Amino acid sequence: MKMGNLLGVTELAGRPESVSSAREYVRRKLGAGHPALDDVTLLVSEVITNSVVHSNSRNGGTVTPALAECHDLVHVDVLDAGGSTAPQVNGDLYAEGGRGLVLVEALSQRWGVHDGPAGRTVWFQVGYRRQGGVRPGPRRPGE
Q: Which domains are delineated in the chain?
A: 5-127 (3.30.565.10)
- Compute the 3-state secondary structure of the chain and give helix, strand, coil in percent, each to the nearest 5: 30, 25, 45
The pTM assigned to this predicted structure is: 0.83
Q: By C-alpha distance, which of 87, 106, 105, 107 is closest to 97? A: 87
**Pairing assessment for the beta strands 5-9 and 12-13 based on DSSP bridges:** unpaired
Predicted confidence (pLDDT) per residue in 57-101, tens digit: 999 999 999 999 998 999 999 999 998 777 766 665 555 555 678
